[in-house]
Amino acid sequence: MRIPFEITILLILCLRNKSYKCHAVHVGCGTRPRKRAKIVGGTDAQAGSWPWQVSLQMERYGHVCGASLVASRWLVSAAHCFQDSDVFVYVLAGILMPATRQIRRIILHSQYDQFTSDYDIALLELSAPVFFNELVQPVCVPASSHAFTSGTSCFVTGWGVLSEEGELATLLQEATVNIISHNTCNKMYDDAVTPRMLCAGNIQGGVDACQGDSGGPLVCLERGRRWFLAGIVSWGEGCARQNRPGVYTRVIKFTDWIHQQTKEQRQPLRLSLLVVI
């Protein structure tokens, strides 16, 4: 992979125009310490609802893709978000206290296929950790043996367009989608869904991820009341169309790869990251 000479990334973590103290608060992955009593067909997310949600933005053009915080130094996103990263300058912005970070590396899966969208996953390493607080928490990465069963109700979140060919959302959107069986989805997509892919949505249409949601999280609430990263927004035919559900990178197929890559240590590249958290 060709990595651009200098990349900055804007990290927006679910909240705008609020003032909170940034202090170390970590109660385990997949938790939402702050809970208050468009994705196509979604609704506005409340502040702090999805504390692992990240927005990757071009400096001049704004939001490009989503990502998820999985550890204090690591983000997970979709590989296709970085196909043309050599022509992009990304800016990372959060909401709270600004700080500058260096990005050590952007790792695309070596088997990523841009024509089939297979192995559509990327890792972004920060040279310095972010601080966990009420609004910044990592999502849980599931074990490779974990099963997200068909019919399970999960959530997809992002700042993507609110309708096919529509405008980007100004507020983080959330929507409930159901896991669809691999066989059922493959019939609808003429066997284009590989074992590394997971389908979720509504077969009747009306609710779906769309352009700008790519790389963002599909999360499911599991026993123990923790949220697990089941999928990464990858591709689909149109948005919220009947018999065309969203297709996600199936995270359990990459659990070992994520752990292997995040444990390795390499020298930092000359990439910069501005973080406001």
- Tens of pLDDT, residues 109-136: 999 999 999 999 999 887 778 888 777 8
Is residue 181 assigned to a domain?
yes
Q: Do residues 80 and 116 share a domain?
A: yes
Burial classification of residue 243, based on how many CB atoms lie within 10 Å of its CB (0-12 exposed, 13-18 middle, 19 or more buried) = middle
Assess whether 160 and 245 both reside in one domain: yes
What's the domain count of the chain?
Answer: 2
Same domain, 86 and 167: no
Which has more confidence, 131 or 218? 218
Beta pairing class for 173-180 and 43-44: antiparallel
62 assigned to some structural domain: yes
For the chain, what is the mean pLDDT? Answer: 75
Give, for 187, the enclosing helix (H) or strand (E): helix 182-188
Handedness of CA 249, 30, 42, 179 (dihedral sign): positive
Give dist(CA 138, CA 228) in Å, integer: 10
CA dist., res. 107 & res. 120, Å (int): 11
Does 271 lie in the same domain as 203?
no
pLDDT value of position 59:
66
Q: How confident is the model at residue 264 (pLDDT cuts 50, 70, 90)?
A: low
**Is the pLDDT assigned to residue 7 strictly greater than 50?**
no
Report the percentage of the chain scoring pLDDT > 70: 64
162 pLDDT higher than 70: no
What confidence score (pLDDT) does residue 34 get? 53
Q: Tell me if 102 is assigned to some domain.
A: yes
- Residues of the chain above pLDDT 90, percent: 35
Specify burial of residue 147 (Cβ count, 10 A radius: 0-12, 13-18, 19+). Answer: exposed
Residue 100 has pLDDT above 50, yes or no: no
Q: Residue 19 above 70 pLDDT? A: no
CA dihedral sign of residues 85, 89, 94, 99 = positive
In a domain, 267, yes or no: yes
Residue 46 lies inside a defined structural domain of this protein: no
Annotated catalytic residue 182: no
In a domain, 162, yes or no: yes
Residue 64 has pLDDT above 90, yes or no: no
Residues 231 and 268 in one domain: no
Same domain, 248 and 259: no
In the residue annotation, 120 being an active-site residue is answered as yes
Choice among 120, 208, 213, 272 that is catalytic: 120
Query: Which pLDDT belongs to residue 88?
Result: 47
The model's pTM: 0.78
**Which residue segment(s) compose the domain that 234 sits in?**
153-252
User: Is-catalytic flag, 234?
Assistant: no
190, 183 contact by CB (below 8 A): no
- Asked whether residue 122 falls in the same domain as residue 248, the answer is no
Assess whether 196 and 70 both reside in one domain.
no
The answer to whether the Cα torsion of 9, 23, 258, 236 is positive or negative is negative
Q: Average pLDDT for residues 20-38, to the nearest whole number? A: 53
Q: Which residues pair with 40 in a beta bridge?
A: 208
pLDDT of residue 79: 94
Q: Do residues 213 and 158 touch, judged by C-beta distance below 8 A?
A: yes
Q: How confident is the model at residue 23 (pLDDT cuts 50, 70, 90)?
A: very low
pLDDT for 102: 53
Question: Is 8 within a domain?
Answer: no
CATH code of 183's domain: 2.40.10.10
Q: Which of 50-54, 100-104, 191-195, 205-209 has the lowest mean pLDDT?
A: 100-104
* 259 in the same domain as 236: no
Residue 252: DSSP 8-state: G
End-to-end CA distance of the chain, in Å? 29
* Statement to judge: residues 160 and 247 lie in one domain: yes
CB 37 within 8 A of CB 119: no
User: Which residue, 89, 192, 189, 68, is CA-closest to 136?
Assistant: 68
**Residue 23 belongs to a domain:** no
62 and 113 part of one domain = yes
Rounded mean pLDDT, 183-187 = 93
Catalytic residue among 80, 118, 208, 234: 80
